[in-house]
Amino acid sequence: MAGFLCVAESAGGRIIRTGVGFTQVGDPYQFDVYTQDDRPLGDDGEAEFRWVTVLLKHSNGYNVIVQPIVDGIPQLVGSFSGGPPPAGTLEEVVRLRVWLMARGNRIAAKVTSVSLLGPLELVDIPYGYVAIRSGL
HEC string of the chain?
Answer: CCCCCEEECCCCCEEEECCCEEEECCCCCCCEEECCCECCCCCCCEEEEEEEEEEEEECCCEEEEEEEEECCEECCCEEEEECCCCCCCCCEEEEEEEEEEEEECCEEEEEEECCCCCCEEEEECCEEEEEEECCC
What count of residues does the chain have?
Answer: 136
Q: How far is CA 88 from CA 58, 85, 123, in A?
A: 14, 8, 21
C-beta separation of 54 from 127 below 8 A:
no
pLDDT tens, residue by residue, 56-91: 999 999 999 999 999 999 999 999 999 999 988 899
C-beta separation of 61 from 82 below 8 A:
yes
Q: Is the pTM of this model over 0.85?
A: no
Model confidence at 48: pLDDT above 50: yes
Architecture of the 31-133 domain: Sandwich (2.60)
pLDDT at site 65? 96
pLDDT at site 129? 97
Q: Please, where in the chain does CATH 2.60.120 lie?
A: 31-133
pLDDT at site 1? 38
Higher-confidence position of 10 and 40: 40
pLDDT tens, residue by residue, 82-127: 999 998 889 999 999 999 999 999 999 999 999 888 888 888 999 9
pLDDT at site 33? 87
Terminus-to-terminus CA distance in the chain, angstroms? 61
Model confidence at 36: pLDDT above 70: yes
pLDDT at site 67? 97
Higher-confidence position of 11 and 115: 115
